[in-house]
Amino acid sequence: MSNVQKLYYEKRAKTLVKNLKSRHFDAYYCADKEEALAKALELIPEGATVGWGGVMSAHEIGLIEALNKGNYKAIDREKCKTPEEKAEAAKQSMFADVFLTSANGLSLDGEMVNIDGQGNRVAAIIYGPKTVLVIAGMNKVCDDLESAIQRARTVAAPMNQQRFSSPNPCGVTGICADCKTETCICNHIVITRHSRPVGRIKFILVGEDLGF
């Protein structure tokens, strides 16, 4: 990444961290993946039960690997062999000490947008786990809420669809067709505007492009 882009991300992050804190989120800015991994491990107590959903960014900073190797009770749905086991792991994540996720879009004003297929990820963000830790690259940050929703719908969701074989239009074209298919991955669009209890939702913003 160029110095110009680093400076751009760092300056925008100052505004975003201030605005997130004004909404009772905890927020930290880390310049790169290594710093973000160290901060995440500082925030997750050893021995904690940790669940996750939508964690490309956490994978990219090495956090999922560190949790699987370390002294944590990881609820890893990717290791489940059957749909039933996956569903059970999603339910267990609702009672985790820490739930890891990312954002599909963030407004500079401090609001987070997430889209979910089955709803387990956004459910855990809203209620259940004691702490929600959001790892988000600064590429997720948009100037306002409208553009954050637009990003989530037209960039994050069609890119996410590329991971699946389900027959949704964006899987073929890369463009959202606002579909109504049974396999649609955009069934819940959630805006998180504050954290209650104070500090329950924590952000680690990373000055790099992560996830989608």
The residues of the shown chain that bind ligand SF4, judged by CB under 6 A, are 157-158, 161, 168-170, 176-179, 184-186
Which CB sits closer to ligand SF4, 132 or 170?
170
CA distances from 85 to 2, 76, 88, 144, 180 (A): 43, 10, 5, 39, 27
Please name which of 141, 120, 8 lies closest in space to residue 55, comparing C-alpha atoms.
Answer: 120
The distance of closest approach from Cβ of residue 151 to ligand SF4 in the complex, given in angstroms and rounded to an integer, is 12
Which CB sits closer to ligand SF4, 121 or 202?
121
Integer Cα distance of 177 and 31 in angstroms: 36
Which CB sits closer to ligand SF4, 13 or 185?
185
The residues, ordered by sequence, that sit 6+ positions from 7 with a Cβ below 8 Å of its Cβ are none
The distance of closest approach from Cβ of residue 2 to ligand SF4 in the complex, given in angstroms and rounded to an integer, is 31
Amino acid occupying residue 19: N
The residues, ordered by sequence, that sit 6+ positions from 208 with a Cβ below 8 Å of its Cβ are 1, 9, 32, 33, 137, 138, 139
The distance of closest approach from Cβ of residue 104 to ligand SF4 in the complex, given in angstroms and rounded to an integer, is 11
Which CB sits closer to ligand SF4, 68 or 181?
181
Which CB sits closer to ligand SF4, 128 or 171?
171
The distance of closest approach from Cβ of residue 50 to ligand SF4 in the complex, given in angstroms and rounded to an integer, is 28
The distance of closest approach from Cβ of residue 211 to ligand SF4 in the complex, given in angstroms and rounded to an integer, is 16
